[in-house]
Structure 1
Amino acid sequence: MKLIDILKESSVIADLQANTKTEVLDALVNAVAKSYPAIDKREMLNVLLEREKLGSTGIGDGIAIPHGKLPNIPDIISGFALSKSGIEFDSLDGKPAYLFFLLVAPDNSVGTHLKMLARISRMLKNTAFRNKLMNATSQKDIYRIISEEDSKY
């Protein structure tokens, strides 16, 4: 499965306006909910916040991959947000996060969930890819950049 199979362009935020971890997660949930209106936004936000209590999903290098599991979704879904100014996310390196990939999976999808987390992590190890995302100016540009990078794996 490719990332682009689960990421809709409407779930991409090109200019994230948030100041806190909770605001980031709320914005991502709202973006994803546009494509999946049956999702309980409050439940999804709570799942993500609970996951953050276990340890930050801010992995360093300006990247955060908030993720969690929901019982009543048919398939794994994703969202993306770009913050030009950076947001404190309790990242492992203590630095702000700029690139946020959201991943939410059904309760029963352990293998797929882990494979998609690994795929996103692999893609984000590429400094040129991260730089392209940071310099993107629109939702369409970001979606295209992710699609192009995704096709390499």
Structure 2
Amino acid sequence: MKLTDFVVQKAIIPNLKATSKEDVIREMVAGLKDAGSIKAEDEEAVVAAILKREELGSTGIGNGVAVPHTKHPSAEELVATVAVSRTGVDFSSLDGEEVFILFLLVSPPDRPGDHLRGLENISRHLRGQDFCNFLKQSSTAKDVWELLSEADNSDEEEEE
């Protein structure tokens, strides 16, 4: 599974405006809605599900990264978006640091394998310092998309 298989290009936010955890989640889910990946009538329910997941424990995994996610019956397939914050967001991260890079995932409840594969793929790339640095420097959605495509291509080369 490639990043470009499930990240919705039209939902990428290279310059987040939101500054709180809840507002960031709302802005990212709105991006998925605006791109047609989440129905407008499901937007609030998806936001609520992600916020409920955050109550279990922050998805701020450290190193300036957060991966908020949920399974929701309105999702027909695994969808995700990427956002970059220029100022940093307090996401109650495990390391106490602010978050600058966010990947938000929504998947159907009946496809847990896709959900886990998506999280694993994102996590693997986010462990790479170069990947994170280039993401933080991306100023347009096109820049972010090209970086995701390059990461997918490097995966293919490793598998050969």
What is the root-mean-square deviation of aligned Cα atoms in Å?
1.0
Q: What is the distance in 1 between the residues matched to 2:114 and 2:46?
A: 18
Q: What is the distance in 1 between the residues matched to 2:91 and 2:154?
A: 29
* Unaligned ranges ≥5, structure 1: none
Q: What is the distance in 1 between the residues matched to 2:38 and 2:75?
A: 11
Aligned to 2:147: 145
Instruction: Trace 1:47-62 onto structure 2 (pairs within 5 A).
Output: 47-62=49-64
TM-score (norm 1): 0.96
Aligned to 1:115: 117
Q: Is the 8 A contact 2:50 2:70 kept in 1?
A: yes
Aligned to 1:46: 48
Give the AA of the match of 1:22. Answer: E
Q: What is the distance in 2 between the residues matched to 1:33 and 1:151?
A: 28
Q: What is the distance in 2 between the residues matched to 1:148 and 1:112?
A: 21
* Unaligned ranges ≥5, structure 2: 156-160
Per-residue CA distance 1:121-142 (angstroms, 9 max, x = gap) = 0001110110001111111111
Q: Which moved more, 1:58-67 or 1:6-15?
A: 6-15
Identity level (%): 37
Q: Helix, strand or coil for the counterpart of 1:43?
A: helix
Q: Which has the higher strand share?
A: 1
Per-residue CA distance 1:2-53 (angstroms, 9 max, x = gap) = 1201112211001001110001000000001112252510011000000000
Moved over 4 A (4+): none
Per-residue CA distance 1:70-101 (angstroms, 9 max, x = gap) = 11221010011000111000000000000000
Q: What is the distance in 2 between the residues matched to 1:60 and 1:75?
A: 27
Aligned to 1:20: 20
Q: Is the 8 A contact 1:123 1:150 kept in 2?
A: no
Deviation, structure 1 residue 116: 1.0
Aligned positions, number: 153
Q: Helix, strand or coil for the counterpart of 2:154?
A: coil
Q: Which moved more, 1:88-97 or 1:6-15?
A: 6-15
Q: Is the 8 A contact 1:65 1:102 kept in 2?
A: yes
Q: Is the 8 A contact 1:87 1:97 kept in 2?
A: yes
